[in-house]
Structure 1
Amino acid sequence: MSTVVLYRAPTTVADADEIADWLRDRVGSAVEVRDRFLDVHREGPDDTEGLAEAFADSRVLSPYERETGNTMLGIVRYEERALDRPEREGGVLYDGAAVQRALNAALPEDESAPDRLHVALLDRAIGTWGDHDGRWHKRVNVLGQPALVSVPGLYEAPAKPEEYYREQQKTALLSGDAPPREVLEEQVEGEFLVADDPRTTEALKGYVLQAVHCWRTGEGFCDEESCRLSNPHRQPGVVDAQLRDPEFCEDHAELYD
């Protein structure tokens, strides 16, 4: 691989330039930073309409239904506004594989060379369908071309500590409604990342490297839970893998330390 192209997510606290600097020291490839993918590879009104329809079609309708998509006019118009004003988008889960196909189709032919990997930081929540349990699961990243790294997924996809959910259920029983997330985050002690966490950029470095590693080697996630290339399903595991030393297991330290 000769070039990694990393795209900013300007409505988030993720610092793409800092991630790129860290990546250059480890992968031995050129790392180029660009503005938001959905701006760079969208040239006119036709592109906006097509991408808006693609996002509308990739909306997850129910956690337990495989079928996705709502392309009613109002939904498509919402997605058009979200493309132009991303700070207004939120609360929607998208099929990560479908979004990846749409963004791949948006890449110009001269940008699709096999030695060039595009990695898009996204301000949207993405998920994949689990055949093993018949439900959607939020993800931090979806590997491939382009690779997708969801900033809200960093906070939402890995499960919080058990105490978080116990407190959530207790408050809901007493008040009839779940407490705001911000309240729970203050009440529950434990190791987990929250929205706009100052550790966001540091944690995302490993998830971007996972995309590069998969592209270079064809390998998936590392089985060593403390390695940056692992894919923990719980927040304490994310903290351990991405924010504590050592950064890598012995095998991957030979490649990236």
Structure 2
Amino acid sequence: MKRVTLYRAPTTAADVEAVGDWLDDRIDATVRVRDRFCSLYGDDGLAETFADARVLDPYDRATGNTMLGIVRYEERALEDPERGGGVIYDGLAVQRALYERVPADERTLDHLHIPVLDRVVGTWGDHDGRWHKRVNVLGQPGVVSVPGLYEAPAKPEQYYKEKQQHAMVSGDAPPREVLESAVDGEFLVADDPRTTDALKGYVLQAAHYLSTGEAFCDESGCRLHNAHRQPGVVAAQLDDPEFCPRHADRYRV
């Protein structure tokens, strides 16, 4: 792999330039940052593609609702990402759609593309017959989901209880500081100031996979570890050391 191109996220919580600088210091490839992928390469068919990739039922493998109203919603979400949300998309379908829109002369295995998206993506689990939210989908391109960072790894059970109780009383979601004081254990929430630092490891996972074929690291304290719970995300992505001994040697730490 000779080149990595990152694409800016629609959310200001994710500083993709900072992620790119961090990645550039750790891999033997040229790292560049471009504007939002969907802004650069979106076309008239992209909204319908997203509509067709919608997960309709968490326990049904089938996806897609391309009724006119849904396609119009997706068009608005592409134009103004703040208007989107609350939808899960088939991550592999999104990955295929974005690959088809990468410039033809850049669709090579030595040039990895990593769009950082505002969409929640998931993959189907044959083992339990349901969809699972993901922070990233490895491959070409390597898809990274900002809301997936907050939603995919499970939070402590008390978090959901406190959030529900607060909503019943006030009618809205509690502020992050309220949840942190009420719930034992660390976790990430929407627009968390630690978002950029946490995303670094998930972007590196995409580069590592394309370079080595290794998906994730089994060591829980390594940035290449795929944690399934929020405390594990904090430990892997935000605590020291950054890498296990094997991957620290590879990534110049």
Same fold (TM over 0.5): yes
Task: Judge conservation of contact 1:185–1:194 (CA < 8 Å) in 2.
Answer: no
The answer to whether structure 1 residue 185 and structure 2 residue 179 are counterparts is yes
Q: Which residue of 1 aligns with 2:159?
A: 164
User: Which one-letter code corresponds to 1:25 in the other structure?
Assistant: D
The answer to whether structure 1 residue 59 and structure 2 residue 30 are counterparts is no
Q: 1:115, 1:208 → 2: CA distance?
A: 16
- Report how far residue 179 of structure 1 moved: 6.5
**Superposed, which structure 2 residues align to 1:219-230 within 5 Å?**
219-230=214-225
Equivalent position to 2:212, from 212, 217, 222: 217
User: Which one-letter code corresponds to 2:54 in the other structure?
Assistant: R
The answer to whether structure 1 residue 115 and structure 2 residue 110 are counterparts is yes
**Superposed, which structure 2 residues align to 1:84-123 within 5 Å?**
84-123=79-118
The answer to whether structure 1 residue 25 and structure 2 residue 19 are counterparts is no
Q: 1:245, 1:79 → 2: CA distance?
A: 40
- Report how far residue 98 of structure 1 moved: 0.5
- Report how far residue 107 of structure 1 moved: 1.2
- Report how far residue 41 of structure 1 moved: 1.2
Report the TM-score when normalising by structure 2.
Answer: 0.93
Q: 1:123, 1:181 → 2: CA distance?
A: 22
C-alpha change, 1:220 and 1:181, in structure 2 (3 Å) is farther
User: Which one-letter code corresponds to 2:11 in the other structure?
Assistant: T
Q: How many residues align?
A: 250
Q: Which runs of 5 or more residues in structure 2 are unaligned?
A: none
Task: Judge conservation of contact 2:53–2:93 (CA < 8 Å) in 1.
Answer: yes
Task: Judge conservation of contact 2:13–2:195 (CA < 8 Å) in 1.
Answer: yes
- Report how far residue 161 of structure 1 moved: 1.2
Q: Which moved more, 1:231-240 or 1:175-184?
A: 175-184
**Superposed, which structure 2 residues align to 1:4-23 within 5 Å?**
4-23=4-23
- Report how far residue 178 of structure 1 moved: 8.9
Q: 2:168, 2:175 → 1: CA distance?
A: 16
User: Which one-letter code corresponds to 1:185 in the other structure?
Assistant: L
Residue by residue over 1:30-73, the C-alpha shift from the partner in whole angstroms, topping out at 9 and shown as x without a partner, is 0010000001113xxxx2x3101110000000111110000001
Task: Judge conservation of contact 1:12–1:151 (CA < 8 Å) in 2.
Answer: no
Q: Which residue of 2 aligns with 1:146?
A: 141
Q: 1:12, 1:126 → 2: CA distance?
A: 19
- Report how far residue 201 of structure 1 moved: 0.3
Q: 2:172, 2:9 → 1: CA distance?
A: 28
User: Which one-letter code corresponds to 2:173 in the other structure?
Assistant: P
Identity of aligned residues (%): 67
Task: Judge conservation of contact 1:225–1:241 (CA < 8 Å) in 2.
Answer: yes
Residue by residue over 1:125-154, the C-alpha shift from the partner in whole angstroms, topping out at 9 and shown as x without a partner, is 111111111111110000011111000000
Q: Find the residue that maps to 2:133 and give its secondary structure.
A: strand
Task: Judge conservation of contact 2:89–2:120 (CA < 8 Å) in 1.
Answer: yes
C-alpha change, 1:198 and 1:40, in structure 2 (3 Å) is same
Q: 2:3, 2:63 → 1: CA distance?
A: 34
Q: Which residue of 2 aligns with 1:255?
A: 250
Report the TM-score when normalising by structure 1.
Answer: 0.92
User: Which one-letter code corresponds to 2:3 in the other structure?
Assistant: T
Residue by residue over 1:156-209, the C-alpha shift from the partner in whole angstroms, topping out at 9 and shown as x without a partner, is 10000122234456x39x959997354772532420011100000000000000
Q: 2:40, 2:233 → 1: CA distance?
A: 31
- Report how far residue 111 of structure 1 moved: 1.4
Provide runs of 4+ in structure 1 moved above 3 Å: 165-169, 174-179, 181-184
Q: 1:117, 1:52 → 2: CA distance?
A: 24
